[in-house]
């Protein structure tokens, strides 16, 4: 076969004797749409993961600063903050959101367990150095 004949064969379009199957065309369209959605979800997951990592980093930094401030604060008595009095509903919310030992009741007053909520110290406005 000559080189010219080979090129002609490659350039000849394939034709079908029957019309394309409408269901297959519909399935191909659906598959394309699913692939598009998967690709868009992938980029949203990457953005979400970056936000989560930022929040984790901030949490670690705030925790470290909080530990340092609370450990040098006059209001820290054996790991309990005596500077804040918590209302019962806030105490219950903190227990529910964080853990049961995030708050302690002393003489009918709800107090923060700063050894459980060290990040509080980083933003606390009533810090008093020992
Ligand atoms: S810094 Fe604030 S939260 Fe920490 S012990 Fe002092 S008063 Fe309490």
Note the pLDDT tens digit of each residue in 61-77: 999 999 999 999 999 99
**Protein residue with its CA nearest to atom 3 in ligand 1:** 121
pLDDT at 5 (0 to 100): 53
Number of other CB atoms surrounding residue 121 within 10 Å: 25
66 CB under 6 A from ligand 1? no
Nearest Cα to Cα of residue 114 among 126, 102, 98, 123:
102
122 CB under 6 A from ligand 1? no
Hey, which of 75, 109, 129 would you mutate to test ligand 1's pocket, going by the most ligand atoms within 8 Å of its Cβ? Answer: 75
Number of other CB atoms surrounding residue 82 within 10 Å: 16
Note the pLDDT tens digit of each residue in 87-109: 999 999 999 998 899 999 999 99
Hey, which of 69, 102, 104, 123 would you mutate to test ligand 1's pocket, going by the most ligand atoms within 8 Å of its Cβ? Answer: 69
pLDDT at 6 (0 to 100): 54
121 CB under 6 A from ligand 1? yes
- The helix/strand/coil state of 44 is helix
CB 119 within 8 A of CB 90: no
117 CB under 6 A from ligand 1? no
**Continuous segment of H or E residues that includes residue 41:** helix 22-71
**Continuous segment of H or E residues that includes residue 11:** helix 3-11
pLDDT at 106 (0 to 100): 93
pLDDT at 119 (0 to 100): 87
Note the pLDDT tens digit of each residue in 21-54: 777 888 888 888 998 888 888 888 888 999 999 9
Beta strands at 109-113 and 103-106: parallel, antiparallel or unpaired: antiparallel
Give the rounded distance of the alpha carbon of 105 from its chain centre. Answer: 32
111 CB under 6 A from ligand 1? no
């Amino acid at each position: 076969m000559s080189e010219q004949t080979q090129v002609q064969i490659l350039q000849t379009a394939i034709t079908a004797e029957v019309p394309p199957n409408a269901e297959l065309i519909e399935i191909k369209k659906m598959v394309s749409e699913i692939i598009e959605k998967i690709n868009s979800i992938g980029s949203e997951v990457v953005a979400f993961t970056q936000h989560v990592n930022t929040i984790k980093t901030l949490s670690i930094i705030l925790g470290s600063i909080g530990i340092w401030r609370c450990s040098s604060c006059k209001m820290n008595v054996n790991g309990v903050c005596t500077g804040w009095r918590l209302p019962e509903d806030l105490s219950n919310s903190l227990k529910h959101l964080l853990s049961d030992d995030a708050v302690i009741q002393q003489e009918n007053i709800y107090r923060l367990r700063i050894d459980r909520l060290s990040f509080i110290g980083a933003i606390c406005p009533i810090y008093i150095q020992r």
